[in-house]
Amino acid sequence: MPLSNITFQQGSGGLGRPLPGQDFYSALLFYSSVLPSGFSTSARIKKFLSVNDAIAAGISYSYSDETQATATYLVTTAGTNGDTIVIAVNEPFGSVITLGSYTKASTETTVAAVATKIAAAINANTQTTGYVATVSSATVTITARKGLGIFLNSGTPVVVTLSSGATLAGTLTQFSGGVASRNAVYYYHISEFFRIQPQGVLYVGIFAVPGGAYNFSEIATVQSFANGTLRQWGVFKDSAAFSTADLTAIDTQNKAQDTLHAPLIGLYGADLSGTSDISTLTDLSVLTANTASAIISQDGGGMGALLYLTFGKSITTLGAALGAVALANVNEDIGWLAKFNISNGTECEILAFANGKLFSDSSVTNNLLTTLDAYRYIFLLKYVGYAGSYFCHANTAISISSSYAFIQDNRTIQKAKRGIYSALLPILNGPLILNSDGTLSNTTIAYMETLAKAPLTQMVRNSEISGDSVVINPAQNVLSTGSVSVTVNILPDGVARQIVVPIGYTQSLT
């Protein structure tokens, strides 16, 4: 038997130490007239380091902001002893939930007594089903469980089945009045972001729905709140339909931030539920919005699919896409299979478009996918013989011929610009030593080139670019202009978008 002692077992990773740099600093923008408990009209922006921060701010799957639908069953005839009634509800994904069953006994002689027993039968299963019944006179009011939003408002989800020959009768009024939880949708995107990038930093802003066209100027407010640290942001627009003008507006805001030395790229997820044919989407390659990308994919069998049915509008994979960008090095395409599997086996395992059309539908062909990729949209794909779900490419809303046709093109140049800006800023308004002929001295040129090259050299070490050059023309007339031109050329990394493998038989390998 060992001597008594106190033994320590030192763990690791509990601090959740942040990643170096700020390439993963991101933001999500939402628009709503009702704010979660942790937000207010004077505090519309919060910084989250995990999903727990979102829950603490009142954003969760608690459905506290949902209005549950109600249905009624008015008992009009008490019926005969032994009559049986079963009440069931058709829920999402074909699930049928039996709320309760009641068999009339001799003690229930009035319609009110029968209604009371029906309500009691439903409430006996509340812990399992989540449905609650109340009774007033002969009317049973059924309140739906949380999380179903608008789903029960349409169709005939309530099914009342009476035993053969029963005289018990009543009038059924189907569910209505359900209003979906916005917080659940917000939580979905936030949790998807952190699922893909657990060490991300996420600023969440919830703003009033614009009275007119969206211009997304709110990103300037969030970027200022984040002290210019944001590198990418996503906006979820559910109050109006998808619009290509929105991508131009997002790009305009991004480029305005670029002039303030706080460049960033934007992802756009909007409502496509009214677009029955996804092939009719506009070709984004005719735009010049190189810092904006449109996300049109959606989960087809997990939480995203459920939210689509209960919210009634597109959910998209915006949160997951933003998480992938935050996870990626600035030079990486989020469609890289070895790194960016977006499926966890459940969420984003079954694929759909944001209009609810499953990829398994016969209308979703390879030709359609190829066209949408050429139109510069971002969506998820499956590859034969390779498990998981992957984004097609990191497309932006500009022609494929542009030097900035992909998210990584923009993130890489933006990181270089930020680095060079910070490196050169200390010498702004500083003296320039000249030669006797008025040209810049070699020491001045060498010093400035070294400053500008330092962040690029680090990017080469990080494998974010393949090479660089910094050149300063000594013959510049700096005395007259007060301006020095520093020419920077960057050799970016390539991306293996197509791999061609000639293959065939041969009579000899020598």
CA 269 → CA 101, 148, 315, distances in Å?
44, 22, 8
- pTM metric for this prediction: 0.92
Q: What is the pLDDT of residue 510?
A: 78
351/223 same-domain check: yes
379/471 same-domain check: no
Q: What is the pLDDT of residue 239?
A: 86
Is the per-residue pLDDT at 45 higher than 80?
yes
**For the chain, percent of residues with pLDDT exceeding 70:** 95
Last residue of a domain, one of 176, 203, 230: 176
Q: What is the pLDDT of residue 497?
A: 72
Strands (E), 242-343: 265-271, 288-289, 292-294, 297-299
Give the containing element (helix H, strand E) for 238.
Answer: strand 232-241
Q: What count of residues does the chain have?
A: 510
CA 396 → CA 118, 324, 473, distances in Å?
57, 15, 35
168/212 same-domain check: no
Is the per-residue pLDDT at 446 higher than 90?
yes
Could you tell me if 213 and 362 are in contact, meaning their C-beta atoms sit under 8 angstroms apart?
no
Q: What is the pLDDT of residue 6?
A: 60
Q: What is the pLDDT of residue 478?
A: 87
302/351 same-domain check: yes
Q: What is the pLDDT of residue 14?
A: 47
The stretch 200-219 carries a mean pLDDT of 95
Alpha helices in 354-429 (DSSP H): 366-374, 407-424
440/466 same-domain check: yes
The stretch 250-279 carries a mean pLDDT of 97
Reduced to 3 states (helix: H, G, I; strand: E, B; else coil), residue 364 is: coil
**Cα separation, 389 vs 301, whole angstroms:** 13
Reduced to 3 states (helix: H, G, I; strand: E, B; else coil), residue 306 is: helix
DSSP annotation of 278 reads: G
186/273 same-domain check: yes
Residue 280: inside a domain: yes
Last residue of a domain, one of 157, 176, 195: 176
Is the per-residue pLDDT at 16 higher than 70?
no
Q: What is the mean pLDDT of the chain?
A: 94
For residue range 312-348, what is the model confidence (pLDDT) as tens digits?
999 999 999 999 999 999 999 999 999 999 999 999 9
280/385 same-domain check: yes
For residue range 457-500, what is the model confidence (pLDDT) as tens digits?
999 999 999 999 999 999 888 888 888 899 999 998 887 777 77
Residue 215: inside a domain: yes
214/308 same-domain check: yes
For residue range 269-280, what is the model confidence (pLDDT) as tens digits?
999 999 999 999
Q: What is the pLDDT of residue 367?
A: 96
219/264 same-domain check: yes
The stretch 4-9 carries a mean pLDDT of 57
Residue 24: inside a domain: no
Residue 114's domain comprises 70-176
Is the per-residue pLDDT at 221 higher than 70?
yes
Residue 64: CB atoms within 10 A of its CB come to: 13
Quote the number of domains for the chain: 3
